[in-house]
Chain A
C-alpha cells in the first residue's frame, strides 16, 4: 500500500519535470512557467525522500533483504 504512495509521488515528479520540458520548448524563456514546474519537481522529490526515511524509521517499508540461497 505504501509503495503506491511512493509510485504516486514519483509520477508527480515525472509529470512536473515533463511539463517543464514543454514550457522550455514553448515559452522560449519569456515566462516563469519552467522555473515554477522545476520548483514543484524538487519539492515533490524532497518530500519523497523524507517520506521514505520516515516510512523506514516507522517500519512501514523495508529495503531489499540479503541474498537468498542461490
Chain B
C-alpha cells in the first residue's frame, strides 16, 4: 500500500484488455441490434458479447486491483485516476443533459408550436387544426394509440424511496470506511447494491406494466419515447453503478482500502449519489413538474 509506493509514475505496459473490451462491445451491439431485428444469430452473438465483456471486466479489474494492492500507484497516479473520473462524469452530465434537454424542448417548445403558440398559428391551422397542445401527449397524430401515463405514486415512488434509501446506506458505509469500521462498511455496502439491483428489477416490472396494462410504449409519441429513453438509460446507469459497488464490496470483504486511501470506494460511492440525483430529477420532471 502507501508505505511500499515508489516515486516513479507507474505506467502499465502491453495490456490486451482494451482490444478484448472493444471486440466484446462490438459483438454485444451487433448482436443486440440483430436480435431486435429478429435475425436468428442476434441473440447468440449478443450473449457471446456479454461473455467477452464479463471476462474483460473480471480480468481488467483484477489487474488493476493487483497493481493497487501491490503498491504500484503513488499519489500522482491517484490524481490521474481522479482526473479520469472527473472527465467521465463530465461526459455523463452532458449525456443526461442532452436527454433532459430533449424532454424540455418537446414539452416547452415543439409541442406548443404544433398547438399554434408563438408565431406558429398557421402550423396549427394548416396541419393540426384540432390539436390543443398539452403535456403529456402522443402528438397531434395520436401515434401509438390511446395510452395512460405512469402515475407518480405507486411503483415510481417506491423506486424513488428504494434509491434514496440506498443513498443513505452508501453514506453510512462511507462514514464507516473513514472510521475504519469494517463490519458496518461491509453490511451497508451490501445493502446499497442489493437495493440497486432491486430498483432495476422493479423498473423492469414497471416497463412490463406500461406495455401490457397502460399501452404506454416507446411508440407512444414524444411522451413515450422520452419516458423510456430517460428512464431506460438511467436504469442502465443504476446497473453499472451496482456492478461497481458489488466489485468494491468484494474488495472490502477481502480487507482492501484504508481510511485515507480508498479511491475505488470514493469513485463508486460518488457515482451512486450521481445516479440517485439523476433519478430524483427524472422523478420530479417526468412525473411532477
Q: A: which residues have CB within 8 A of B?
A: 3, 6-7, 10, 13-14, 17, 20-21, 24-25, 28-30, 32, 34-35, 38-39, 41-42, 45-46, 48-49, 52-53, 56, 61, 63-64, 66-70
Q: Is B175 an interface residue (CB 8 A)?
A: yes
When the two chains form their complex, are residues A67 and B262 in contact, meaning their CB atoms are under 8 A apart?
A: no
Which residues on A sit within 8 Å (CB–CB) of B262?
Answer: 29
B interface with A by C-beta (< 8 Å):
75, 78-79, 82-83, 85-86, 89, 131-132, 134-142, 146-149, 151-153, 157, 160-161, 164, 167-168, 171, 174-175, 178, 260-263, 266-267, 269-270, 273-274, 276-277, 280-281, 284, 287-289
Q: Closest CB-CB distance, B175 to chain A, in whole Å?
A: 6
Tell which of B83, B132, B273 touches A41, judged by Cβ atoms closer than 8 Å: B273
- In angstroms, how far is the closest chain A Cβ from the Cβ of B283? 8
Query: Contact at B178–A38, with CB atoms within 8 Å?
Result: no
Contact call B148/A66, Cβ cutoff below 8 A: yes
Number of A-B contacts (CB under 8 A): 113
Least CB distance from B77 to A in Å reads 11
* Top-3 shortest CB links A-B: A70-B142, A68-B134, A42-B167
Q: Is A45 in contact with B280, judged by CB distance below 8 angstroms?
A: yes
Distance, CA A64 to CA B274, complexed state (A): 26
Of all chain A residues, which has the CB nearest B135?
Answer: A64
Chain B residues contacting A14 (CB-CB under 8 Å) are 277
Contacts of B132 in A (CB 8 A): 68-69
* Residues of the A chain whose Cβ atoms lie less than 8 Å from the Cβ of B151: 63
Contact A24 B135 (CB under 8 A): no
Q: Provide the residues of chain B in CB contact with A6, threshold 8 Å.
A: 284, 288-289
Residues in A with CB closer than 8 Å to B280 are: 10, 13, 45, 48-49
| Given A38-B270, A38-B273, A45-B280, A32:B149 Cβ within 8 A | no
A3-B289, A24-B85, A38-B174 given. 11 additional CB < 8 A pairs?
A: A21-B89, A24-B270, A34-B270, A35-B175, A39-B171, A48-B280, A48-B284, A49-B280, A64-B288, A68-B137, A70-B141
Contact A21 B86 (CB under 8 A): yes
Tell whether, in the assembled complex, residue A28 and residue B164 are in contact, meaning their CB atoms are under 8 Å apart: no
Distance in angstroms between the alpha carbons of A56 and B198 in the assembled complex: 26
In the assembled complex, which residues on chain B have CB atoms less than 8 Å from the CB atom of A38?
Answer: 171, 174, 269-270, 273
Contacts of A42 in B (CB 8 A): 164, 167-168, 171, 273, 276
Q: Which of A34, A64, A70 neighbours the largest number of chain B CB atoms within 10 Å of its CB?
A: A70
A20 / chain B contacts, CB cutoff of 8 Å: 270, 273
Q: How far is the CA of A42 from the CA of B170 in the complex (A)?
A: 10
B164 x A49 contact (CB < 8 A): yes
How far does the alpha carbon of A64 sit from the alpha carbon of B137 in the complex, in Å? 11
CB distance from A8 to the nearest CB of B (A): 12
Bound together, the chains give a CA A28 to CA B140 distance in angstroms of 54
A70 touches B288 (CB 8 A): no
Cα–Cα distance between A42 and B273 once the two chains are bound (Å): 8
Closest chain A residue to B276 by CB distance?
A: A45
Contact of A46 among B134, B164, B277 (CB under 8 A): B164
For A34, A63, A66, the residue with the greatest tally of chain B CB atoms inside 10 Å of its CB is A63
